[in-house]
Amino acid sequence: MTLKDMSKLYYLKKLIERDTEKLARLEAKLQPGGMDMSGMPHSTSPGNAIENITPIILDLCDRIRKERAQYEAETRNLETFIDTVEDPQIRLILAYRFVDLLSWIQVARKIGGQNTEDSVKKACYRFLKKSEKLS
């Protein structure tokens, strides 16, 4: 598994967060007083705004559902790969970094001992480079 494969969860999580925030903003517009009408001509019918926003919300909900399903599938794939790693320390490093999405300093603190941010990062990259060559 490559570093790019291992990093998919991070980017999927960011997409889900972005789309969830966008959904919240759109849903807020549907609440009473949620429409920002400043500087816009006033319509006698608020239905037009609702009719325009509702399909966007439905599409966004569908996209978020698909992204979450993909996130879960990628998590399972990643955990399956990590379970095959023989070295328990490398397994922990990979799980903390790529499944739990911790920073390198957080990974080093979780591992404990004399491990530093650089030492866990180097061990991870060394392992991934070695495993890519074996593939």
Confidence class for position 20, pLDDT limits 50, 70, 90: very high
Q: What is the pLDDT of residue 42?
A: 56
The model carries a pTM of 0.79
Class of domain 85-135: mainly alpha
Digit-coded pLDDT (tens) for 50-87: 788 889 999 999 999 999 999 999 999 999 999 999 99
Q: What is the pLDDT of residue 51?
A: 81
- % of the chain surpassing 70 pLDDT: 87
d(CA 53, CA 48): 9
Helix (H, G, I), strand (E, B), or coil: what is residue 88?
A: helix
Digit-coded pLDDT (tens) for 24-59: 999 888 887 655 555 555 555 555 677 888 899 999
112 phi-psi bin (left φ>0, alpha ψ -120 to 50, beta other): left
Q: What is the pLDDT of residue 39?
A: 55
Single-letter residue type at 52: N
- Flag whether pLDDT at 135 surpasses 70: no
Q: Residues 110, 116, 119, 122: what is their CA dihedral angle, to the nearest 10 degrees?
A: 80
Q: What is the pLDDT of residue 50?
A: 78
H or E, element range at 97 = none
CB-based contacts of 15, cutoff 8 Å, min separation 6: 67
- Flag whether pLDDT at 101 surpasses 70: yes
